[in-house]
A and B are shown apart, each in its own frame.
Chain A
Amino acid sequence: MARSIDFAHIDEETAYLDTACRAPLPEPVLAALDAYHLEYAACGGRGKYAWARRVDEVVEDTRRAVLKDLRLSPRRYATSFTLNTTAGLNLLLQQLPIGRFDRVVTSHIEHNSVFLPTMTAAARLGVPRVVLERAPDGSLEIDGVDLTRAVVVVNAASNVDGRVLANAKEVAKAVHAAGGILIVDAAQAMAHAVDAVAGLDADAVCYSAHKLYGASLGVVAARIDLLRSLQVSTIGGGMVADVREDGFDLVLDDPASILEPGLQDWGGIAALAAALPWRTRAMREGGAALTARADRLYEALAGMPGLRMVSEHRSTVIAVAPEKQDAHRLAIFLSEAGVAARSGYFCVHHELKHRRALPPLLRFSLGLHTTDEDVDRTVDALGRLMRGLR
């Protein structure tokens, strides 16, 4: 089956299977990005001329689209744009009000974008940091855990094996009941598992547009009262209504700006506006086929000699541990065969390298651009390598 017309620009000879890091841009998103740069490449929030007004309109539309996509109320939530998920999480965690929280809670399978800032945030807040287990189905194991006034930061979907936060609603309820807040890293959920986070009563949802077929951009959808409670330390133009010699006034009627110092990636925001509806339509039309291809690849990998499955469940993100071969070397060999797969620990060193003592892994993350031929190419190339390498 040929590649979707929206991905006709992708080389047919390359099976790109690193979607968990960066999803390729489909044609409509590229067109939106091009349109910004070719037709109205101006700054937002500053100008009165036509191009600038168009940018403002696109930005406001995208903010609303983000909330709509997550099924969040614009009366309670605001959308901020940042550099990426890591930047969004840091902007929130490093500016939380001191004295408001008693602990920082996260889980062992978090990406470094969560794992690291929770360390520094706990240190800054002067509270303990608690690291919880995640069940095989992705549930956060909170039974018996004191969540009083806790800042809970967890992913909605793992970037290692794709497992989702199965008990997300229960976690949110428990956290809020204990006076805490829930911040969700939705970077891996937004492309193919948005239901894992949509409608969730989280206090903030952070993700990267480039993992859901958009341009490089970070997104934070956060409760307005949380944004207003932040002790602002990262500050710049676009966040203030007035500046005096020794003081300033924040823009009170635009809480989203609290996380947006300086100029934004207006082109990336325009691309996100196109990516959100594209992803929804593409998943509706091709989600089942994507799942089928991921299942087929999972089965093939599970049957290959010399590979140990790290992923316990089928997902579009599949990690395997080569038993005798170096994963980095395999990734290079696969590249020669036209397969782009990731190797290493995928920024989850704590869980994979230290807790589970795993060697560097191979990861195959499929996307809506993936074809049956991509899967065949991968199975054929890796199969030959695993059978032939000594």
Chain B
Amino acid sequence: MFCIAAFIILAVLAVFSAKYRRSLAKSWACTSRRLTLRPCDTGFRDDAKSRLLAPIAVRHPALVLPAGIALDVLSWLLILTTVWSLYTATKAGANLVAYGTCSPQNAASCSLGAEACSIDSGQPEFWESVGTGDVVGAFAREFGEFGAAFAAIPARLRVWDADEFVPADATWLTAYDADKPTAIEILDPGCSVCRQLFRNMLESGFDRTHNVTYLAFPIPSPDGGTKFPNSTLVASVLQAVRLTPALAERAVDWAILTRIFTGEIGGAPAQEVLNEADRAQAEAILAGWLAEAGADAEQVAAVMALAESPEVADALAATASVVRDDIDTVKIPTLITDGRRHDGLVGVDQLR
């Protein structure tokens, strides 16, 4: 293992200094034999190891044996950490390509991908599982995720047609124009990044160049609820509006979303207030917005009642199924437009 560890170190040093390249070639001769399960016959290993131990040998020869053992242990550690690092980097790269985040289990924690609200898997992390004694499960999940990331890459790289995911009861941010391309956003009304994306759309004029619709997807939380406490309520109301033709025609659901993403309540962002409100307060806020959007009292009552219905629940479940199984995103918002899928926040310039 020593020659492999030396090769790793020399490979790094050789990048910066030519004087290490001769040794690198020697270490590779030994490493290539070790990697093909043959004994190293170049003498490099013993030579390099002895040179490292020589200063100790001439001063404290009795320490050569323990120092040699320590070198072997360090070599093993270096190789293991290197292999693990390469594995992790490869996995992160595959995840980045497949899901737009290096950590699908906690997308928000990955700084390499676009900003987003993550759809956490709820599965324990590798070391967390190992810590609880579930070593087999830890490795099974780890390698399962590794395989899943690569399996997801082809789908991620395909041409994404937004019209494929537009629901029958879709409403549009602006008046539908058959000459404009379609854009569909998977959003969670409680997600602050969705708020920013909405603002970017308005600022960039994306709403005027595209037919924009949405799929409301309350991000689930590991405890069985949702990441943002009132997301299901809001999504249900939005879905109820879409099931109410008189209101859907006027895109009242978009009016509510516009309130959530751009409005203020008492000087605070409306979304934050809604997220922190209890259910009764949230229902009151939503009812108020419905009324402000032109719904009469009867329609408001009908919508709020419909939001509690199995019909709406089924519609939300169907939407969740599309998000999880067909689109397979782990980041909210996800925007599908112009043949591509954008996971996470999309900047103003890119939207232009």
> Is the Cβ of B62 less than 8 Å from the Cβ of A336?
no
> Is the Cβ of B46 less than 8 Å from the Cβ of A389?
no
> Is the Cβ of B58 less than 8 Å from the Cβ of A381?
yes
Cβ of B57 within 8 Å of any chain A Cβ, yes or no, is yes
Q: Could you show 25 A-B contacts with beta carbons less than 8 Å apart?
A: A326-B50, A328-B43, A328-B47, A328-B50, A329-B50, A332-B47, A332-B50, A332-B51, A332-B54, A333-B54, A333-B57, A333-B58, A333-B61, A336-B55, A336-B57, A336-B58, A381-B58, A385-B61, A388-B57, A388-B60, A388-B61, A388-B62, A389-B57, A390-B64, A390-B65
A328 and B46 in contact (CB under 8 A), knowing A333-B54, A336-B54, A336-B55? yes
CB interface residues, A 333-379, toward B, < 8 Å: 333, 335-337
Cβ of A68 within 8 Å of any chain B Cβ, yes or no, is no
In the bound complex, residues from chain B placing their C-beta under 8 Å from that of A337 are 58
A38–B58 CA distance with the chains assembled, in angstroms:
43
In the bound complex, residues from chain A placing their C-beta under 8 Å from that of B58 are 333, 336-337, 381, 384-385
The interface bits of chain A over 57-78 (1 if a CB of B lies within 8 angstroms of the residue's CB, else 0) are 0000000000000000000000
Q: A329-B50, A332-B51 are in contact. List 15 more A-B contacts (CB 8 A).
A: A326-B46, A328-B43, A332-B50, A332-B54, A333-B53, A333-B61, A336-B54, A336-B55, A336-B57, A337-B58, A388-B61, A388-B62, A389-B57, A389-B61, A390-B62
Cβ of A387 within 8 Å of any chain B Cβ, yes or no, is yes
Interface residue tally for chain A (C-beta within 8 Å):
15
In the bound complex, residues from chain B placing their C-beta under 8 Å from that of A390 are 62, 64-65
Shortest CB distance A377–B (Å) = 11
A333–B61 CA distance with the chains assembled, in angstroms:
9
In the bound complex, residues from chain A placing their C-beta under 8 Å from that of B57 are 333, 336, 385, 388-389
CB interface residues, B 44-74, toward A, < 8 Å: 46-47, 50-51, 53-55, 57-58, 60-62, 64-65
A381–B59 CA distance with the chains assembled, in angstroms:
10
A333 and B50 in contact (CB under 8 A), knowing A381-B58, A384-B58, A385-B57? yes
A332–B46 CA distance with the chains assembled, in angstroms:
10
Q: Is the interface of B mostly helix, strand, loop or mixed?
A: helix
A38–B139 CA distance with the chains assembled, in angstroms:
73
A49–B51 CA distance with the chains assembled, in angstroms:
53
> Is the Cβ of B61 less than 8 Å from the Cβ of A329?
no
In the bound complex, residues from chain B placing their C-beta under 8 Å from that of A326 are 46, 50
A337–B61 CA distance with the chains assembled, in angstroms:
12
Shortest CB distance B60–A (Å) = 7
In the bound complex, residues from chain A placing their C-beta under 8 Å from that of B64 are 388-390
A167–B193 CA distance with the chains assembled, in angstroms:
98
Shortest CB distance A65–B (Å) = 41
In the bound complex, residues from chain A placing their C-beta under 8 Å from that of B55 are 336
The interface bits of chain B over 23-49 (1 if a CB of A lies within 8 angstroms of the residue's CB, else 0) are 000000000000000000001001100
A328–B58 CA distance with the chains assembled, in angstroms:
15
A389 and B62 in contact (CB under 8 A), knowing A328-B43, A333-B57, A336-B55? yes
The interface bits of chain B over 313-348 (1 if a CB of A lies within 8 angstroms of the residue's CB, else 0) are 000000000000000000000000000000000000
Shortest CB distance A15–B (Å) = 13
A337–B50 CA distance with the chains assembled, in angstroms:
13
* 8 tightest A-B CB contacts, nearest first: A388-B61, A336-B54, A332-B50, A333-B57, A329-B50, A337-B58, A390-B65, A388-B62
In the bound complex, residues from chain B placing their C-beta under 8 Å from that of A328 are 43, 46-47, 50
Shortest CB distance B70–A (Å) = 14
In the bound complex, residues from chain B placing their C-beta under 8 Å from that of A384 are 58, 61
Of listed B51, B55, B57, residue having the most chain A CB within 10 A: B57
Shortest CB distance A30–B (Å) = 29
Shortest CB distance B62–A (Å) = 5
Shortest CB distance A379–B (Å) = 14
In the bound complex, residues from chain B placing their C-beta under 8 Å from that of A387 are 61
> Is the Cβ of A335 less than 8 Å from the Cβ of B54?
yes
Shortest CB distance A353–B (Å) = 15
CB interface residues, B 1-34, toward A, < 8 Å: none
Of listed B46, B54, B61, B64, residue having the most chain A CB within 10 A: B61
Of listed A333, A384, A385, A390, residue having the most chain B CB within 10 A: A333
CB interface residues, B 172-196, toward A, < 8 Å: none
A116–B292 CA distance with the chains assembled, in angstroms:
104
Q: Quick one: closest A residue to B54, CB to CB? A: A336
A381–B55 CA distance with the chains assembled, in angstroms:
12
Q: Quick one: closest B residue to A381, CB to CB? A: B58
In the bound complex, residues from chain A placing their C-beta under 8 Å from that of B43 are 328
Shortest CB distance B51–A (Å) = 6
In the bound complex, residues from chain A placing their C-beta under 8 Å from that of B54 are 332-333, 335-336
CB interface residues, B 198-250, toward A, < 8 Å: none
A329–B57 CA distance with the chains assembled, in angstroms:
10
In the bound complex, residues from chain B placing their C-beta under 8 Å from that of A333 are 50, 53-54, 57-58, 61
A328–B65 CA distance with the chains assembled, in angstroms:
16
Shortest CB distance A149–B (Å) = 42
In the bound complex, residues from chain B placing their C-beta under 8 Å from that of A389 are 57, 61-62, 64-65
A385–B58 CA distance with the chains assembled, in angstroms:
7
A337–B55 CA distance with the chains assembled, in angstroms:
8
A329 and B62 in contact (CB under 8 A), knowing A335-B54, A336-B54, A336-B55? no
